[in-house]
Amino acid sequence: MKWDEFFVTGEPMIYAAMVSIVVVSLAIPIALTYFKKWNWLWMNWLTTVDHKKIGVMYILSALLMLFRGGVDALLMRGQTAIPDNGLLDGQHYNEIFTTHGVIMILFMAMPFIIGLMNVVIPLQIGARDVAFPRLNAISFWLFFAGAMLFNISFVIGGSPDAGWSAYFPLASLEFSPTVGNNYYSLALQIAGIGTLLTGINFLVTILKMRAPGMTLMKMPMFTWSVLITNVIIVFAFPVLTVALALMTLDRQFGTQFFAMQSGGMDMLWANLFWVWGHPEVYIVILPAFGIYSEIISAFARKNLYGYKSMVVSMVAISLLSFVVWAHHFYTMGHGVMVNSVFSITTMAIAIPTGVKIFNWLFTLRKGKISFTTPMLYSLAFIPIFTIGGVTGVMLAMASADYQYHNTMFLVAHFHYVLIPGTVFAVIAGFHFWFPKVFGFMLNEKLGKLSFWFITISFNVTFFPLFILGLNGMTRRMYTYSESTGYGPLNMLSMVGAVGLAIGFIILVYNIYWSVRYSPRDIDQDPWDARSLEWSTHSPVPEYNFALIPTVNKLDAHWFAKKEGKPLATGKYEPIHMPNNSGLPVIMGALFFFWGFFMVFSWWIPAIVFGVLILGTLAYRSFEKDHGRYISVEEIERTENALRGAQHEN
Amino acid sequence: MKQLFPAQHVMGFLFSLLLSLVALVAVLFDLSFTAGMTILVVTALVQAGLQLFLFMHVKENAESKTLYLNILYALFVGLVTIFGTLFAMRWGYMVK
């Protein structure tokens, strides 16, 4: 391989990206050295096993990836805004829609959701950390290694260009000879292992570490949604692991699993991809449903309507999510029987989802609604998501799908599901739980301004795509001639995309503004909310709860407030906490380099790093680490320094 | 003596060895495909059950209900994935 193949060359935009990468990677260490922050970074963040800090790192990475994926989106909309545009060439456009999809789903939506899980779940169930804190740090660093590996592909070696679903035979070595799809298989593999570990970790946390008295049916709805999500993760991600391993074998070791001859089957990739891929959709949407349930009941000042039916419908969705995958490729050769079966299972999902929509509406009914920023996102979610759901039922009808398949109608549909479903939810959750983590609130005025920008622009961006799709514009076409008549609506969509970008810039500016100017004198429960996380201090001390609360009903914190009774009484006792560890971040770095050398099939360094990874596992097996105790005096000192805990001694 | 010699477990261990030997029949003798597969599937199921109940103590756990539910869910997902794939990609593929 020559150097001009190693680096991506010939594109001014990519040269600019290279310069900015070099500048940033020089600026960070220089700034850390200048401000003498290395030690602070290592002790407080890189080696932390604290679920709150890991959550914050997940969310920061997600925001970074939102920026990357957003720039991709703007470039795509810019390219298609006018007919016969030359902003991007065909190859560059292919790479950008591929990385946009992968980054937004796996490196933006997933970490944002997992970040909120990390921050909220232990607090919501009255626990002091997750079940396996060290494993949690490993999850994060594996995700981060995978994300970084995927992102360097656009300057080193070339990005994957076969779509985010990487269908064979297009993604095979024969038709995608660059290393791009090696990045795809290896980066997703590394990040996927991290996600699988998260799934196991949170499953155990929720099943084993709930506060005394909190039976399953007294858990907050977000905890329920996360429990079910993690069940889906544990059962769906192994399929991705296997499929990606087969892809690596096919592309780099000469096997023929997805080949078109020699007994291979190219469509098997699409099949396996969606066996994982459809449950994945519910992995990012169910926690969002949980977030909305929390926010809607908090700001309607009512308990959640139909708690049991909410749980039952989520369990139903989790089972149904595994039996619908073939609806992603109705037009690719199935017989009538297969399409009929998958049509029916797909339409059946609309039933539990509809139950949830009605439950939210009934929660709102006769509520004293306060229109805060998180509540605005939740209210906007209901009608917009319903449009996404209804068009989903249209797509679910196999015979009609022959008309919609791979058109912009489909693109509009899944953006109408995923943006109000997931993106609005994580932004709403971000505003909602921000004061819990940092002890001050995000500015409401700026929050609402960005809400209106994002919501209106979202519709301006994506609604025209429904019409374009019905007019016959297919997805992933990098340009079109003027005679097709697609120009004006695409231009409208571009205007909306710019509006979305402005909305997100206001959101980021809001974080900056609030860090500098937002008042710090809030108490621990600024929204007057309902679940346990609001019963401890803001910001939350390292050990979460000085005394573990006892729960006797749903929304115990709310009733404790109304009755003026503390949730926890007793004497402080020394608290057992896990020690920090540098091993997870080192493992992340080793996995990154292992992945990088694997991508280029440079076997010797890949083997060296593989052995080093095994070495860290061996080291861990012999390590004696029994954690540490926080003394009663230290707890007292911390508790007195913080405000507003809701318990007595 | 009973504590020193866990009869049930020793018997279970011998029985699991026996099952493995029976499974060997499928390759040692010249059986038809169906007969071989039947032997393999039956011995595998009995073996899995033996391991689960005797050596992994599913029954003796305080939360065995959760475990059963978990196993059922795993079976559901596994079977759906395998037979669903066969259904979509083999039996129902390219059929008009």
pLDDT at B95 over 70: no
pLDDT of residue A145: 96
pLDDT at A469 over 70: yes
Taking contacts as CB-CB distances below 8 angstroms, the residues of chain B near A283 are: none
Decide if B88 and A326 are in contact by the 8 Å CB cutoff.
Answer: yes
> Does residue A293 form part of some domain?
no
Please tell me which of the candidates A231, A337, A342 has its beta carbon nearest to residue B95. Answer: A337
Q: A with B: how many residue pairs have Cβ under 8 Å apart?
A: 51
Residue A241 Cα, gap to closest chain B Cα (Å): 14
Mean pLDDT of chain A: 92
> Does residue A474 form part of some domain?
no
pLDDT of residue B1: 63
Average pLDDT of the residues in A189-199: 96
Decide if A335 and B77 are in contact by the 8 Å CB cutoff.
Answer: no
Cα atoms in the 13 Å half-sphere on the side-chain side of A475: 20
> Does residue A416 form part of some domain?
no
Please tell me which of the candidates A239, A334, A335 has its beta carbon nearest to residue B81. Answer: A239
Rounded Cα distance between A445 and A372, Å, is 10
Taking contacts as CB-CB distances below 8 angstroms, the residues of chain B near A342 are: 88
Residue A396 Cα, gap to closest chain B Cα (Å): 16
Touching check for A275 and chain B: CB below 8 Å?
Answer: yes
Taking contacts as CB-CB distances below 8 angstroms, the residues of chain A near B74 are: 235
Per-residue HEC secondary structure of A441-496 comes to CCCHHHHHHHHHHHHHHHHHHHHHHHHHHHCCCECCCCCCCHHHCCHHHHHHHHHH
Residue A127 Cα, gap to closest chain B Cα (Å): 20
Range scoring the smallest mean pLDDT among A226-240, A259-273, B56-70 = B56-70
Total structural domains in chain A? Answer: 1
Average pLDDT of the residues in A412-437: 95
Query: Which among A317, A278, A290 is positioned nearest to A426, based on CA atoms?
Result: A290
Q: Residue A166 is part of which domain span?
A: 1-276
Range scoring the smallest mean pLDDT among A20-24, A202-206, B17-21 = A20-24
Touching check for A336 and chain B: CB below 8 Å?
Answer: yes
pLDDT at A643 over 60: no
pLDDT at A647 over 60: no
Taking contacts as CB-CB distances below 8 angstroms, the residues of chain B near A207 are: 66
Average pLDDT of the residues in A106-110: 96
Taking contacts as CB-CB distances below 8 angstroms, the residues of chain A near B84 are: 275, 323, 325-326
> Does residue A601 form part of some domain?
no
pLDDT of residue A342: 94
Residue A277 Cα, gap to closest chain B Cα (Å): 13
Test mutation, B81, B83, B85, B95, chain A, max A CBs within 10 A: B81
Q: Where are the beta strands (DSSP E) in A514-646?
A: 568-569, 575-577, 628-630
Most confidently predicted of A20-24, A391-395, B6-10: A391-395
Per-residue pLDDT of B71-94, as tens digits, reads 888 889 899 999 999 998 888 887
pLDDT at A479 over 70: yes
In this structure, what token pair is assigned to residue A186? 């290896």
In this structure, what token pair is assigned to residue A230? 């993690």
pLDDT of residue A645: 47
pLDDT at A313 over 70: yes
pLDDT at A603 over 70: yes
Decide if A267 and B87 are in contact by the 8 Å CB cutoff.
Answer: no
Decide if B94 and A235 are in contact by the 8 Å CB cutoff.
Answer: no
Test mutation, B89, B90, B91, B94, chain A, max A CBs within 10 A: B89
> Does residue A286 form part of some domain?
no
Per-residue pLDDT of B37-62, as tens digits, reads 898 999 999 998 888 888 877 777 77
8 A C-beta contact, residue A93 and residue A79: yes
Decide if B84 and A323 are in contact by the 8 Å CB cutoff.
Answer: yes
Test mutation, A216, A258, A334, chain B, max B CBs within 10 A: A334
Residue B69 Cα, gap to closest chain A Cα (Å): 12
Rounded Cα distance between A393 and A46, Å, is 45
pLDDT of residue B30: 80
Please tell me which of the candidates B66, B73, B89 has its beta carbon nearest to residue A271. Answer: B89
Average pLDDT of the residues in A70-76: 94
pLDDT of residue A649: 39
Touching check for B86 and chain A: CB below 8 Å?
Answer: no
Decide if B84 and A268 are in contact by the 8 Å CB cutoff.
Answer: no
CA angle in degrees (0–180, nearest 5) for A220-A221-A225 = 125
B87 to chain A: nearest residue by CA? A338
Query: Which among A430, A427, A480 is positioned nearest to A455, based on CA atoms?
Result: A427
Please tell me which of the candidates A231, A267, A335 has its beta carbon nearest to residue B92. Answer: A335
> Does residue A240 form part of some domain?
yes
- Structure-model confidence comparison of residues A57 and A32, the more confident one: A57
Average pLDDT of the residues in A429-451: 95
> Does residue A472 form part of some domain?
no
> Does residue A489 form part of some domain?
no
A217 secondary structure, DSSP code: G
pLDDT of residue A258: 93
pTM: 0.93
Residues 203-242 of chain A with CB under 8 A from chain B are: 207, 231, 235-236, 239
Taking contacts as CB-CB distances below 8 angstroms, the residues of chain A near B85 are: 268, 271-272, 275
Listing DSSP states for A307-364 in one string gives: HHHHHHHHHHHHHHTTS-GGGGGTTTTB-HHHHHHHHHHHHHHHHHHHHHHHHHHHHH
pLDDT of residue A15: 83
pLDDT of residue A278: 94
Per-residue pLDDT of A327-354, as tens digits, reads 999 998 888 899 999 999 999 999 999 9
Rounded Cα distance between A160 and A101, Å, is 11
pLDDT of residue A281: 93
A329 to chain B: nearest residue by CA? B88
Taking contacts as CB-CB distances below 8 angstroms, the residues of chain B near A314 are: none
Taking contacts as CB-CB distances below 8 angstroms, the residues of chain A near B71 are: none
Average pLDDT of the residues in A576-594: 95
Rounded Cα distance between A115 and A119, Å, is 6
pLDDT of residue B2: 65
Test mutation, A210, A229, A268, A322, chain B, max B CBs within 10 A: A322
Touching check for A86 and chain B: CB below 8 Å?
Answer: no
CATH number, domain at A77? 1.20.210.10
Rounded Cα distance between A515 and A510, Å, is 8
pLDDT of residue A13: 80
pLDDT of residue B9: 81
- What distances in angstroms separate CA B87 from CA A235, A268, A274, B93, B95, one per listed residue? 20, 12, 15, 8, 11
Taking contacts as CB-CB distances below 8 angstroms, the residues of chain A near B77 are: 235-236, 322
In this structure, what token pair is assigned to residue A91? 């190859």
